[in-house]
Amino acid sequence: MAKDKTSPADYIVPLNINGMEGRMLSMPAPKNRKREILFIYGHHSSLERWWGVMQVLNRYGAITMPDLPGFGGMDSFYSIGKKPTLDNLADYLAAFIKLRYNRKKITIVGMSFGFVIATRMLQMYPEQTNKVTTLVSLVGFSHHDDLTFSKTRFLQYNLLSKTFKHRPFNYFFRYVCLNSHVLRAVYARTNNAKHKFAQAEDEADFKRLMDVEVGLWQSNDVRTYMYTTQIMLKLDNCGVRVDLPVWHVRSVSDHFFDNYLVEQHLRIIFKDFHSAEIDLGAHAPSVIADEATAAPLIPPKIRRLLLRKS
């Protein structure tokens, strides 16, 4: 009898594209489901972090999630002499779609910054809109004004990311600030992390969350993280229309984005706009380890959408 596949490792395979090595998670479609779903994770991510979401989306079709350059342990653009610009990330995504899907129709689900990359890809390659049957934004955004940071926090993030994207400062950040002992001692007290660790139910759960965060910080390339933070702080994706409707999932208690402004900017870009609400208590959970935890991210309206014939 074949062994049941119950962990992300059972579905992860190597990925080599444009001279960069990484991984992708790919799950075949269940019986009678023909939809091809491409999931693009967001900032500060790995394939393992979104395993639960993959399990949920797999109910509706075949699901594939590639690493992004510089995240999840994948080689960064710096390794091939490029910078992790938004246009380069969009080029990478377009190349992956061509490699993986060829002439197949696809559903794209972009998570937060992953949706930013998907939007820019569709703007740069408008012919790709003919391949996309459904476009879903999971707490995505499109403009720096969508961010709800105070002026002080904005200046802090801007200064830190601008500083640590350069050598030798990025080495100091990686090997001193991101040392496991340092992270465990101070990270939970930072403003951004407070929302994440507020989810911990007890000391054991706190330790589990911390283990995941340490792993994420140490697997993501520091220069890429800082450079892409700069992208988000200056983002304006509203200059080019995309001839597709968008289905946007917004978190009513999102601590990163102003949902009203997100909607206005998405309406500028896309042919039509539909929304669905979830309440995650934050922008997104820090750890989505299983299907039950992931279920609230895909609200009933999006589930019904995905059940339609693609």
Residue listed under structure tokens 């995309």: 242
On the 0-12 / 13-18 / 19+ scale of CB atoms within 10 A, 248 is buried
| The predicted structure's pLDDT at residue 284 | 74
Which of 71, 159, 174, 84 shows the shortest CA–CA distance to 120?
84
Q: What is the pLDDT of residues 154-187, one digit of tens each?
A: 999 899 999 988 888 887 888 788 888 888 888 7
Q: What is the mean pLDDT of the chain?
A: 90
Cα gap 262→153, rounded to integer Å: 20
Cα gap 142→117, rounded to integer Å: 10
Q: What is the pTM of this model?
A: 0.89
Mean pLDDT of all residues in 212-241: 91
Q: What is the pLDDT of residues 264-295, one digit of tens each?
A: 999 999 999 999 999 877 777 666 667 888 88
The pLDDT of residue 89 is above 70: yes
Higher pLDDT, 56 or 218: 56
| The predicted structure's pLDDT at residue 306 | 96
The pLDDT of residue 54 is above 90: yes
CB of 41 closer than 8 Å to CB of 50 = yes
* Dihedral sign from CA coordinates of 145, 147, 152, 158: negative
The pLDDT of residue 257 is above 90: yes
Mean pLDDT of all residues in 30-45: 93
Lowest mean pLDDT: which of 4-18, 80-94, 184-198? 184-198
pLDDT band for position 1 (50/70/90)?
A: very low
Which of 284, 277, 281 shows the shortest CA–CA distance to 299?
277
CB of 275 closer than 8 Å to CB of 222 = no
Tell me which H or E stretch contains 121: helix 113-124
Q: What is the pLDDT of residues 105-139, one digit of tens each?
A: 999 999 999 999 999 999 999 999 999 999 999 99
The pLDDT of residue 260 is above 80: yes
Higher pLDDT, 27 or 215: 27
pLDDT band for position 3 (50/70/90)?
A: very low
The pLDDT of residue 8 is above 60: yes
Cα gap 246→217, rounded to integer Å: 31
| The predicted structure's pLDDT at residue 232 | 96
Query: Cα separations (Å) of 261 from 39, 141, 147, 266, 293?
Result: 24, 9, 9, 9, 28
CB of 24 closer than 8 Å to CB of 49 = no
| The predicted structure's pLDDT at residue 286 | 65
| The predicted structure's pLDDT at residue 2 | 39
Tell me which H or E stretch contains 94: helix 86-101
Task: Output b/e per residue, 217-241; b: 16+ Cβ within 10 A.
Answer: bebbbbbbbbbbbebbbebebbeee
Which of 181, 191, 189, 251 shows the shortest CA–CA distance to 217?
181
Q: What percent of the chain has pLDDT over 90?
A: 66
| The predicted structure's pLDDT at residue 192 | 67
Helices (DSSP H) in 141-190: which residue ranges?
151-164, 169-172, 180-186
Domains of the chain: 8-147+237-303 (3.40.50.1820), 151-228 (no CATH)
Which of 162, 134, 174 shows the shortest CA–CA distance to 229?
162
Mean pLDDT of all residues in 50-70: 96
